[in-house]
Amino acid sequence: MNKLNTARCLFIFCSFFLSSAVWAAEQCERCAQCCNKGGAGHAAHSIHVSGQAQQYAAPDKAELFLRVETLADTAKEAQDENSERMTAVQQALRAEGIDASNIKTQSYNLSQRTEWNAETKKSEFIGWQLEHAIKVTTTDLDSIGDVTQAAVDAGINRIDRVEFGLTDAASEAVRQEVLAMAAENAQQKATVLAETLGVFVGDVMTVREFNMVVQPYPAKAQLSTRAMEMDAAAAPPIEAGDVNISANISVAFAIE
């Protein structure tokens, strides 16, 4: 009886061992096939290159970052004066053809303002300061100077910056062009490497986009708000500059 049980155990063990060996062999064969086809083990049979491209495009929109700053003895007085001036500014902007939806508040900050007194060696309260910053967007680039002058005349006392950029539709069209240029650049690099190494470039295995940057052109206003207030008849000369679009991708090609 013991010999029969022993034989059965040996038979079961051998059957399990053989099944495991067959399964392991099948897995090894699959791994080998994956390696040959550029699967998980494709690193030794591929060329990895980066592709870069850059292009400049004429802007079709402008964003003006403007601010009203008021200082008063009390917080209410600072708020009231700021509100009055900003209302006048928004009315002036709409009169210049700016839609209300293109005038957006960027920040609204109310705080106590102090100055250091060298004689008393203490910080002294000088009033409540309110800063109300807005962003104005327009696609009429020829009107930038007039719009800025109208805003200053109405109450804006700080121009943070003016940026020239692209609308969503224009940006998407240029992005596609730059991505195509980056892909061509990667293809050229892979071809040069393959020819130098005596191999051939095969199919694309992976493609990754690292970054796509649309850099607006930051224009510098040539006149301060004080100068603009002194010469209200002269609109400030603000020249538009091209927008910089760049792309960076990574491509893996199979080697044949």
**Whole-number Å distance between alpha carbons of 178 and 183:** 9
pTM, 2 dp: 0.71
Residues 85 and 155 sit within 8 Å (Cβ to Cβ): yes
More confident residue, 138 or 238: 138
Query: What is the average pLDDT score of the chain?
Result: 83
Statement: residue 256 has pLDDT above 50? yes
Label residue 239 by pLDDT band (50, 70, 90): confident
Average pLDDT over residues 16-25: 43
Statement: residue 56 has pLDDT above 90? yes
